[in-house]
């Protein structure tokens, strides 16, 4: 049988995988993540992950949850589509949409 502290550490190590995936998405300038999904995580994460781990005294997992929350916040701010407003609605101005689409296109390797 493992101790609660060991279980906390193992859970936190498992959380590192999700953290690394999201941290890479935040770092990669070509990542586009809708505010409809990232915003949901930003709003709910403190109540669905951070608070429960705090109450349960799972300190390692709590630390990872705080880091994950900060990455979700970064994705919400920096990786939303250019034609999306703060609520996740698309810009209806066609000229703005075309300009932003051209800005986001990935150039093919030559």
Count CB atoms within 10 A of the CB of residue 97. Answer: 15
| Phi-psi group of 80: left, alpha or beta (phi > 0 → left; psi -120 to 50 → alpha; rest → beta) | beta
Query: Rounded to two decimals, what is the model's pTM?
Result: 0.77
40, part of any domain:
yes
The total number of structural domains that make up the chain: 1
93, part of any domain:
yes
Residue 98 reports pLDDT greater than 60: no
pLDDT in tens, 14-68: 999 999 999 999 999 888 988 888 999 999 999 999 999 999 999 999 999 999 9
55, part of any domain:
yes
Domain that includes residue 38, residue range: 4-104
């Amino acid at each position: 049988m493992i101790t609660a502290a060991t279980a906390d550490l193992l859970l936190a190590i498992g959380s590192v995988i999700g953290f690394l995936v999201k941290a890479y998405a935040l770092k990669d300038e070509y990542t586009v993540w809708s505010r409809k999904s990232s915003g949901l995580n930003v709003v709910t994460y403190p109540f669905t992950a951070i608070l429960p781990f705090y109450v349960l005294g799972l300190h390692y997992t709590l630390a990872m949850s705080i880091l994950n929350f900060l990455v979700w916040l970064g994705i919400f701010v920096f990786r939303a589509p250019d034609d999306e407003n703060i609520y996740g609605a698309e810009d209806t101005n066609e000229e703005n949409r075309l300009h932003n689409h051209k800005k986001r296109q990935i150039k093919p390797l030559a």
